[in-house]
């Protein structure tokens, strides 16, 4: 039975609904049945012809932001065709619909905004969020991705224009893992912005006031969560791009109350750890032999460090011994126990060591074998820093994970050149292959898209009551296990992005198994987990 058999829509109503519209692919019989005769050109196109037409137009556009806008329009008019194209070539199109292009899209969102793809819940809606959520046409939403727009990628406070992030994230839930798109809901919490440029921009689409803070902010988040529980009782929440002072506390406050996770903390941690585990397989070394230096001590950096320590403990060392292998560098230098300005999240990683203020000194003092960048400070992995890493170890792990590309701590070419090809490299945003001394090096991309769609599919399929940190450790191990010797030979520590859909299923299977084992699933355990997961994967069909 096709999806069109489930609707009473006809005529222009059907053509204007992206869930049902097939454009010129409607057969002549369907045109007669649904009152479409005369509303479409007489030609009946095959899906392949439609795809060729769309891809030809995409290639003709001059910039990625033009392509982003075109993809956005396509998603608004023909959902199945949009996902067919995105799934057909994720390497080419994911950077357009998400990072790095989505950063510029958010910065210019007020100028390129077309039609609503989610909910804008503003400070003016306090006291009536339940009614606002009930305006959404789908009554059984299973995944919400929500941001308050305060820390969009490495770009800072973009207010309501951060809506591009949850739209993009949830598109990847579907494109990579097959979470049904009509069961997902992007939300931006429009509580103001402290970005003066936006407040003075006539095209800014958000409420024009300074951000809610303190008790007002906490009460707003509480009403939002309560409204989700009331309107969408089977729904899970992905917290996305909240500023560091709010991200951790929100996660801790609600993680045991409603099925939820923070991708910037837990998703980033899982993909970072997966790359490290794969790199150590490549080097045939152990976690306990390494010294990890995190440049950026916010929620992303400490999240990776925490998960890494949990895995080391599982391998047989104490938590104190594990933390001794992890060092942090923040805006004031190396995090050491003599400092009196440390946030609670940094204190477990404060070492009894002399304080140094520069990254180069930190790399030298710690004898780091891996450097992980979550700072959003571009070009901060300078030549002297990377050359010192190469002196510390024959195969240094260089991981500039900050997004978008303009915020990356170094480029792939710099890392390979300054280590004479010895670096094991992975970045947050994509870089092209690098040729050096007759050898081609293929940069890995440690993108959270390897993790959150698979976790999302597992949680959707099992209706999990909670999403513990251990689920992300399971996801990291599953992802790391996929990297083959052939890929290691190319310098890769993640599966190729062309395999992203396979990776999502591997992660989903592992996390689903874990959720059943831990008693967190709210559905009956199946005889075959892999078949169970596969049966929950949505496919774009006409």
Q: Can you say whether residue 79 is alpha, beta or left, with left for phi > 0 and alpha for psi between -120 and 50 degrees?
A: alpha
Tell me which DSSP letter residue 123 carries: G
Active site residue 169: yes
Residue with tokens 């010294």: 291
Query: Are residues 383 and 250 located together in one domain of the fold?
Result: no
Whether 436 and 490 share a structural domain: no
Give the tokens for residue 11: 């005529």
Catalytic residue (one of 68, 93, 98, 217): 98
Residue after which a domain boundary falls, among 210, 237, 258: 258
**CA distance readout (Å), 401 to 64, 84, 502, 508, 525:** 21, 29, 23, 23, 37
Q: Is there a single domain that holds both residue 435 and residue 292?
A: yes
Residue 254 lies in a domain: yes
Give the end of a domain, one of 399, 420, 447: 447
The model carries a pTM of 0.93
Structure tokens at 259: 């099925």
Residue 75 domain-assigned (yes or no): no
Note whether 235 and 375 are same-domain residues: no
Token pair of 141, please? Answer: 């939403």
Q: Do residue 10 and residue 128 come from a single domain?
A: no
Per-residue pLDDT, 3: 57
* Pair 251, 137 in one domain: yes
Assign residue 406 the CATH number of its domain: 3.40.50.720
Query: Could you tell me the CATH number of the domain that includes residue 252?
Result: 3.40.50.10380
184 pairs with which residues across the strands?
143
Q: Are 304 and 294 in contact (CB under 8 A)?
A: yes
Residue 56 lies in a domain: no
- What domain range includes position 468? 450-535
157 in the same domain as 129: yes
Domain count, the chain: 4
Q: Does residue 37 form part of some domain?
A: yes
What pLDDT is stored for residue 2 in this prediction? 58
Query: Within this chain, do residues 211 and 279 fall inside the same structural domain, yes or no?
Result: no
SS3 261: strand
Instruction: Decide: 381 and 410 in contact? Cβ < 8 Å.
Output: yes
Determine, yes or no, domain membership for 519.
Answer: yes
Instruction: Indicate the residue among 397, 416, 447 that finishes a domain.
Output: 447
How many alpha carbons fall within 13 Å on the CB side of residue 350?
A: 14
Structure confidence at residue 1 (pLDDT): 38
Residues 346 and 209 grouped into a single domain: no
Q: What is the pLDDT of residue 338?
A: 95
Do both 427 and 280 map to the same domain?
yes
Q: Identify the active-site residue in 22, 169, 346, 407.
A: 169
Domain assignment of residue 542, yes or no: no
> For every one of its 542 residues, what pLDDT tens digit does the chain have, with 9 covering 90 and above?
355 556 789 999 999 999 999 999 999 999 999 999 999 999 999 999 999 999 999 999 999 999 999 999 999 999 999 999 999 999 899 999 998 899 999 999 999 998 889 999 999 999 999 999 999 999 999 999 999 999 998 899 999 999 999 999 999 999 999 999 999 999 999 999 999 999 999 999 999 999 999 999 999 999 999 999 999 999 999 999 999 899 999 999 999 999 999 999 999 999 999 999 999 999 999 998 899 999 999 989 999 999 999 999 998 999 999 999 999 999 999 999 999 999 989 999 999 999 999 999 999 999 999 999 999 999 999 999 999 999 999 999 999 999 888 899 999 999 999 999 999 999 998 899 999 999 999 999 999 999 999 999 999 999 999 999 999 999 999 999 999 999 999 999 999 999 999 999 999 999 999 999 999 999 999 999 999 999 999 999 88
Q: Do 471 and 369 fall into the same domain?
A: no
In a domain, 137, yes or no: yes
């Amino acid at each position: 039975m096709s999806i069109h058999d489930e609707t009473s829509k006809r005529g222009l109503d059907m053509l204007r609904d992206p869930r049902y519209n097939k454009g010129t692919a409607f057969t002549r019989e369907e045109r007669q049945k649904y009152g479409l005769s005369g509303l479409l050109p007489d030609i009946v196109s095959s899906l392949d012809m439609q795809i060729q037409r769309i891809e030809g137009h995409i290639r003709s556009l001059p910039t990625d932001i033009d392509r982003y806008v075109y993809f956005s329009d396509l998603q608004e008019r023909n959902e199945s065709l949009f996902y067919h194209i995105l799934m057909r070539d994720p390497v080419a199109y994911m950077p357009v619909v998400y990072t790095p292009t989505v950063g510029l899209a958010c910065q210019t969102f007020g100028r390129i905004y077309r039609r609503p793809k989610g909910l804008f819940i503003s400070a003016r809606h306090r006291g009536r969020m339940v009614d606002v959520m009930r305006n959404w046409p789908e009554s059984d939403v299973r995944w919400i991705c929500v941001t308050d727009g305060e820390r969009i990628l490495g770009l800072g406070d973009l207010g309501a224009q951060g809506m591009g992030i949850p739209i993009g994230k949830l598109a990847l839930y579907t494109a990579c893992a097959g979470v049904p798109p009509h069961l997902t809901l992007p939300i931006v919490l429009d509580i103001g912005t402290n970005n003066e440029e936006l407040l003075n921009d006539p095209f800014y689409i958000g409420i024009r006031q300074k951000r809610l803070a303190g008790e007002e902010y906490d009460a707003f988040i509480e009403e939002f969560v309560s409204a989700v529980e009331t309107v969408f009782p089977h729904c899970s929440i992905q917290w996305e791009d909240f500023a560091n002072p709010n991200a951790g506390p929100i996660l801790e406050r609600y993680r045991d109350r409603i099925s939820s996770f923070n991708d910037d903390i837990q998703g980033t941690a899982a993909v970072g750890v997966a790359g490290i585990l794969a790199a150590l397989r490549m080097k045939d070394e152990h976690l306990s032999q390494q010294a990890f230096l995190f440049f950026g001590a916010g929620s992303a950096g400490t999240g990776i460090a925490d998960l890494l320590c949990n895995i080391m403990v599982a391998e047989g060392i104490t938590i104190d011994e594990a933390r001794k292998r992890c060092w942090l560098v923040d805006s004031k230098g190396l995090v050491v126990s003599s400092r009196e300005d440390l946030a609670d999240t940094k204190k477990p990683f404060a070492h009894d060591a002399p304080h140094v203020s520069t990254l180069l000194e930190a790399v030298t003092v710690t004898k780091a074998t891996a450097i992980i960048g979550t700072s959003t400070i571009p070009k901060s992995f300078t030549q002297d820093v990377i050359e010192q890493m190469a002196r510390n170890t024959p195969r240094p792990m260089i991981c500039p994970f900050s997004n978008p590309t303009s915020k990356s701590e170094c480029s792939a070419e710099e890392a390979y050149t300054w280590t004479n090809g010895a670096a094991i490299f992975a970045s947050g945003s994509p870089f092209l292959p690098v040729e050096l001394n007759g050898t081609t090096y293929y940069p890995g991309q440690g993108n959270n898209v390897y993790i959150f769609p698979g976790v999302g599919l597992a949680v959707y399929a099992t209706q999990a009551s909670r999403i513990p940190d251990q689920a992300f450790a399971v996801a990291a191990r599953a992802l790391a296990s996929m990297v083959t010797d052939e890929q290691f030979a190319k310098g890769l520590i993640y599966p190729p992005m062309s395999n992203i859909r396979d990776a999502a299923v591997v992660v989903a299977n592992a996390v689903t198994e874990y959720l059943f084992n831990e008693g967190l699933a709210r559905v009956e355990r199946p005889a075959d987990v892999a078949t169970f997961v596969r049966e929950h994967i949505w496919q774009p069909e006409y």
